[in-house]
Amino acid sequence: MPAMPSILAFAGSTRTGSLNKKIIAIAAAGAREAQGAVTVIDLRDYPLPLYDGDLEAHHGLPPPAVELKRLFCAHRGLLIATPEYNGSIPGVLKNALDWVSRPAPGEKPLACYDGKIAAIVSAALGALGGARAQAHLRQILGTVNVTLLPQQWRIPEATAEAFDAAGQLKDARAAQQIKRVGATLVEFLERLSDGVA
């Protein structure tokens, strides 16, 4: 029996009560229902200094960056929910992606990104629902050799009132669309494993 597709899922926000943490949980549920092996993490658990080449040169990768890189390397798929801050992705997300990109001694450049497949969802206060943040994230990930699935979903004008007490979206159609993004990522990874994609 083939191994279940492995997916690392996280939101580009560390805020308690983050709407993007809630929708990454929904997307992850969709991936699990499609038989994906999903690891959900919180970037708050990986506190990183702002990327600094001098810090890296003198001290190497900080321990949280080493652990984050290990997780990236151990999973074939990435499932990311990004908020939109001032028309782009949050600094905490960009900083995490930058640290993970740094090679360990003897490691080829971008080893933890090469061959990865990613899917993106987002919730944002604006009417575009994070479209600009998604575009920037797609550009960043594409630059580091990650393949982006065309399937994505956004929740525009998102507020806490869009979710019930259990953290589920009240709009059943939107919830199903977000789950579908996670499921599509699993299906694509399975096709890769079968040599079909």
The Cβ-side half-sphere exposure at 161, using a 13 Å CA radius, reads 2
Question: pLDDT tens track of the chain, all 197 residues?
Answer: 468 899 999 999 999 989 999 999 999 999 999 999 999 999 999 999 999 999 999 999 999 999 999 999 999 999 999 999 999 999 999 999 999 999 988 889 999 999 999 999 999 888 888 999 999 999 999 999 999 999 888 888 888 899 999 999 999 999 999 999 999 999 999 998 877 65
First to last CA, the chain: 19
CA 87/CA 89 separation, integer angstroms:
7
CA 96/CA 65 separation, integer angstroms:
8
CA 79/CA 60 separation, integer angstroms:
27
Q: What tokens does 83 get? A: 């908020």
Q: What is the pLDDT of residue 152?
A: 85
Chain-centroid distance of CA 6 in Å reads 13
CA 116/CA 148 separation, integer angstroms:
9
Q: Where along the chain do its domains lie?
A: 6-193
Tracing tokens 């930058």 back to the chain, one arrives at 98
Q: What is the pLDDT of residue 64?
A: 97
What residue type is 177 in one-letter code? Answer: Q
Coil vs helix vs strand at 11? strand
Q: What is the pLDDT of residue 197?
A: 58
Q: What tokens does 171 get? A: 């709009």
Burial level of 38, CB count in 10 A (0-12/13-18/19+)?
buried
What is the torsion angle, in degrees rounded to the nearest 10, for the CA atoms of residue 33, residue 188, residue 135 and residue 160? 0
Instruction: Report the CATH number of the 6-193 domain.
Output: 3.40.50.360
CA 11/CA 16 separation, integer angstroms:
12
* pTM tops 0.85, yes or no: yes
Q: What is the pLDDT of residue 124?
A: 87
